Structure 1
């Protein structure tokens, strides 16, 4: 089986509420305030952050756009942008699943919405070429999930047939998009749930 992993929230930790509470504690004064901050910064991964994922704006331009749009001081915006790599730590349970899938002979890939500087950081800090046969970062192909084009590009690059490929992602819209294009898809909710579903499919 071909298995394609999302990164943020699946292979690597991504908890934006905790990130913003840690970096901007003076603004994260309540759960409601944190939720508002998350919405302002990431816009549901569309808007300014979506352009960053797509690779059409750099860090400096992103910081200025967020500061102008939200009224948050530019140095604070930059602190959040700079803190993201430290947030993206490997999820041990998922890394264990990757190892087990690879040992069973499955072909593993990744498909990640990831801005260019964070993609470079992950490549430098972690053995991606050991874990995966290949992968697609959104910023390098100028496409983002859930756009159909990025799924077509991934299938072409990996040389896989969608119906013979399992896509794992924590974002429901990406799962819906993959299934509409004929991919098998598993909505990642937790490491334990993912492991149970992989076992039910006979993959581990």
Structure 2
């Protein structure tokens, strides 16, 4: 099988509410404030951050935009942007699943919305990223999930028909988009659930 992994929230920890509360406690003193800050800052990963994902705005300009839009101190905005790569720590259970799939001889690919500096960091910091035969980072193709074009580009690049690709993503809209284009797809909820789904398909 050709298995395609998302990165953030699947292979790498991404918990923005906890992250923002820890990084900017003066702006997120409680859960409600943290949730509001995440929504305002990341705009559901659309808006300014979506352009960062897409590779059409760099970190410097992103910080300027967010500071202007939110009226946050520029230093606070830059602190968040700089800290994100170190928050993206491997999720041991999913990495173990990746290793088992590799041992079974499945072809491994990735498809991730990821800003360019973070993509560079993950590739250099984590050896297991080299296990993937190929992959698509949104910032390197100026496209992003759940747009159909990025799935078409990924299938073309991997040289695999959509119905022969199994996509694993934690964001329901991305899973729905993949299925609409003929991909097989699993909605990632936890390492245990993902393992059970992969086992049920006879992949591990």
TM class, shorter-length: over 0.9
C-alpha displacement of 1:26: 1.0
Q: Which residue of 2 aligns with 1:56?
A: 56
Q: Where do 4+ consecutive residues of structure 1 move more than 6 Å? A: none
Q: Distance in 2 between matches of 1:105 and 1:34?
A: 43
Mapping of residues 82-161 of structure 1, within 5 Å: 82-161=82-161
**TM-score, with normalisation over the residues of structure 1?**
0.98
Q: Distance in 1 between matches of 2:17 and 2:131?
A: 28
Q: Distance in 2 between matches of 1:42 and 1:168?
A: 23
- Structure 1 residue runs of 5 or longer lacking an equivalent are none
Corresponding pairs, count: 204
How large is the Cα RMSD of the aligned pairs?
Answer: 0.7
| Cα offsets for 1:163-196 (capped at 9, x unmatched) | 1110000000000100000000000000000000
Q: Distance in 1 between matches of 2:100 and 2:115?
A: 28
Q: Distance in 2 between matches of 1:175 and 1:42?
A: 21
Q: Distance in 1 between matches of 2:180 and 2:198?
A: 21
Given the alignment of the two structures, is residue 191 of structure 1 paired with residue 191 of structure 2, yes or no? yes
| Cα offsets for 1:78-101 (capped at 9, x unmatched) | 000011011001100011000000
C-alpha displacement of 1:22: 1.2
**TM-score, with normalisation over the residues of structure 2?**
0.98
Q: Distance in 1 between matches of 2:128 and 2:45?
A: 24
- Structure 2 residue runs of 5 or longer lacking an equivalent are none
Q: Which residue of 2 aligns with 1:40?
A: 40
